[in-house]
């Protein structure tokens, strides 16, 4: 019964005794009691977990599934649930506009029917019920943390990368970007290669904005105030202070703006130069349509920050 349900051994023994050692009846009893156990745990903090990614030719979907401990995040049932959630979310209709990244809340998926294909939990059920059953099995609070969908460009590639990935399709940090190609007749081999490297770059370099023009007035104003205050403490002339602030703002852009960042694979070029070189190589203009970087535990914070379907490159 423990092999079937993954329930704690104490609960397994209790169910068998109460059901006169009838394993089928005990399994049913465990599932019934599991719902109660899961609901009692639902108020506990679930800050660990995994990101699950599913992709087709039209879009990529990223779903966050949270739990309380890293131990549960490594469990194959939990990982199977995360992958099933992403595949189910991929079937939901969304924006058809190319290169658009849109957040969605957990409530968007809870009533969705999904097929769970695992030796210990099979068949069709709603997302809400599947999460409740897995929470009962794991003995922890398991909750859906929302997610994001990013549509593919009309011409180009949608590239993804998952960091700290125990198996294909799941990980703890995700980088996704769309690369748009102007000419529909060019070969996309080089574009796909650079796209994969850029998705990895996004995970490592943590850009907040796509271009300098995307940097919000608040972010730029706050940074300028801090830099000017630091420069003024040196006691130098106003002209010198202005030069110091200008130089440090340039450094700030190189840290937070994707197009200005040095490429992690070859730091002799920045991303803007990399794309210019790629455009020459393929014989057509290549540009980044959108990008997304998410870590476990960030999902709901990012969802609140974005506040709807605002472009994520401006809302990060």
17 and 71 housed in the same domain: no
Structure tokens at 170: 């799941």
How confident is the model over 7-26, as pLDDT tens digits? 778 888 988 999 999 988 88
Q: Based on the domain organization, do 194 and 141 belong to the same domain?
A: yes
Distance (Å, whole) CA 233 – CA 165: 46
The domain total for the chain is: 3
Selection from 210, 166, 140 nearest residue 53 by Cα: 166
Place 116 in a pLDDT band, splitting at 50, 70 and 90: confident
Where does the pLDDT of residue 44 fall: very low under 50, low under 70, confident under 90, or very high at 90 and above?
low
Identify the band that residue 301 occupies on the pLDDT scale cut at 50, 70 and 90. Answer: low
Stated pTM of the model:
0.77
- Whether 70 and 191 map to the same domain: the answer is yes
Q: Give the 3-state secondary structure percentages of the chain, helix then strand then coil, rounded to 5.
A: 45, 25, 30
Q: Are residues 107 and 200 in the same domain?
A: yes
Residues 178 and 50 in one domain: yes
Query: What average pLDDT is seen over the chain?
Result: 85
5 with 137, same domain? no
**Same domain as 37, residue 107:** no
Q: Residue 41: its pLDDT value, please?
A: 58
Residue range of the domain that includes 238: 216-254
Q: What is the distance between the alpha carbons of residues 178 and 90, in angstroms, rounded to a whole number?
A: 17
């Amino acid at each position: 019964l423990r092999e079937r349900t993954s329930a704690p051994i104490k609960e397994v023994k209790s169910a068998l005794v109460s059901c006169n050692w009838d394993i089928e009846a005990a399994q049913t009893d465990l599932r019934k009691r599991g719902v109660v156990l899961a609901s009692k745990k639902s108020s506990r903090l679930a800050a660990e977990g995994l990101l699950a990614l599913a992709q087709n030719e039209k879009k990529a979907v990223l779903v966050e599934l949270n739990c309380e401990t890293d131990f549960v995040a490594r469990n194959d049932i939990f990982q199977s649930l995360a992958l099933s959630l992403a595949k189910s979310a991929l079937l939901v209709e969304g924006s058809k506009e190319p290169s658009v990244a849109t957040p969605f809340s957990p409530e968007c998926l809870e009533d969705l029917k999904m097929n769970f294909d695992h030796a210990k939990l099979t068949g069709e059920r709603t997302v809400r019920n599947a999460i409740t059953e897995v929470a009962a099995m794991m003995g922890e609070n398991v909750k859906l943390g929302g997610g994001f969908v990013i549509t593919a460009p009309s011409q180009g590639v949608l590239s993804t990368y998952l960091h700290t990935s125990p198996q294909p399709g799941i990980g703890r940090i995700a980088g996704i970007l769309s690369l748009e190609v102007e000419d529909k007749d060019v070969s996309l081999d080089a574009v796909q290669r650079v796209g994969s490297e850029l998705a990895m770059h996004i995970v490592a370099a943590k850009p907040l904005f796509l271009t300098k023009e995307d940097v919000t007035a608040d972010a730029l104003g706050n940074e300028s105030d801090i830099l000017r205050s630091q420069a003024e403490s040196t006691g130098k002339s106003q002209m010198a202070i202005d030069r110091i602030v200008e130089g440090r703002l340039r450094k700030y852009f190189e840290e937070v703006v994707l197009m200005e960042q040095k490429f992690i694979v070859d730091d002799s070029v920045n991303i803007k130069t990399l794309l210019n070189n790629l455009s020459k190589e393929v014989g057509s203009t290549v540009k980044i349509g959108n990008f997304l970087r998410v870590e476990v535990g960030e999902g709901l914070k990012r969802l609140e920050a974005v506040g709807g379907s605002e472009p994520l490159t401006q809302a990060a």
